[in-house]
Amino acid sequence: MTPRFSPIPASLPATVPFVGAEQMERGRGRPFKAWLGANELTLPPSPQVIEALAKAARDEISFYPDAPSHPLTEALAAHHHRAPEEIVVGEGIDGLLGLCVRLLLAPGEVAVTSLGAYPTFNYHVAGFGGVVEAVPYRDDAEDLEALAARARDTGAKLLYVSNPDNPMGSWHSHAAIATLIDAVPGDCTVLLDEAYGEFHTDPAAITPRDFTRPNLIRLGTFSKAYGLAGLRVGYALAEAPLAAGFHRIRNHFGVNRMAQAAAIAALGDADHLAATLKTITEGRAQLAQIATDNALTPLPSATNFVTMDCGRDGAFARQVLEEILARDVFIRMPGPDPLNRCIRVSVGTAEENRLFGAILPAALAAADKARL
């Protein structure tokens, strides 16, 4: 018997936005030597995080988490110079994106994003019966003017933009982002994904902590610079009336205790964050040099990954990717043309970056041979 799903799920394909490294390893039958595909930090977290995790495991694990994530909310409020009422802690940006769509997009309404941007946003839009309008990148960056125009033209209720961008690593000035938000109709909420915000290199690109608009939701995470992707914790910053909406629909006890404890500890260890950012900056230069040494063009990056232009078409870059995977290094690549002339390599440890550099020449040669 076919199950009787409600209309929106009944219309959806069984899909998954990403196939993870472990799932690929099970498919291949052997492990990767380096995971450089999901822009995860491969460096250890702060010792204070490890200590907080041990304490939570020992003392708190059998108790439901604190539903308002009160201490973490207070810590984030202090960190961002915002009121606690302007902060919503959630199960990573993925979970928060689902709540944003559910809260702000009715079935049939339009959400604007960039063609090739974060697929999990599109997954949630489809999942709640919305319609994705995707605007092509321009010069390997999100095209802010075209995004605003598409939002106006389609009467969109949501607009997704990231700064810095994934998968290209590009970025816009804060002034340009502010102009975008002010160019969008007031009934269209802008989701500004700042997952990579801690990695910014250009001071003019950093959104001021107190920057706010009634129709703006800023999204931050502990999965990238803080190295806690395994725990699932992120947050939204929004003006209080908008932030309050999340509490009508969120899974109140959904942010686990380990995540809350670790995030507070991570936020409190500024020295560890600074050391991480220094290591990432060095690793980014190391990967860029490896690319250049191999006649690939590293794109400028304000993130913890380097997107490398392979200089030919999407089929060639796909072949390069396959040859790298075959040599046991997990990386990914952008989907749509012309972004798909590139591969994307997350910054690992110096040793992992060297491993990538060691296998790259043979991978390129093999791809070249296959695609002659």
* DSSP of 189-235: EEEEE-TTGGG---GGGSPPTT---TTEEEEEESSSTT--GGG--EE
* DSSP of 53-122: HHHHHHHTTTS---TT-HHHHHHHHHHHT--GGGEEEESHHHHHHHHHHHHH--TT-EEEEETTS-HHHH
Comparison of 124 and 174: residue with beta carbon closer to a second copy: 124
Smallest separation (angstroms) from a second copy to the CB of 268: 17
The DSSP letter of residue 299 is P
Smallest separation (angstroms) from a second copy to the CB of 134: 21
Comparison of 95 and 164: residue with beta carbon closer to a second copy: 95
Comparison of 201 and 256: residue with beta carbon closer to a second copy: 256
Do the Cβ atoms of 127 and 12 come closer than 8 Å? yes
Q: Which amino acid is at 245?
A: G
Judged by DSSP in three states, 144 sits in: helix
Smallest separation (angstroms) from a second copy to the CB of 22: 5
Comparison of 138 and 247: residue with beta carbon closer to a second copy: 247
Smallest separation (angstroms) from a second copy to the CB of 35: 7
Comparison of 70 and 369: residue with beta carbon closer to a second copy: 70
Smallest separation (angstroms) from a second copy to the CB of 106: 4
Place of tokens 């010792």: 47
d(CA 81, CA 118): 28
Smallest separation (angstroms) from a second copy to the CB of 70: 7
Comparison of 229 and 366: residue with beta carbon closer to a second copy: 229
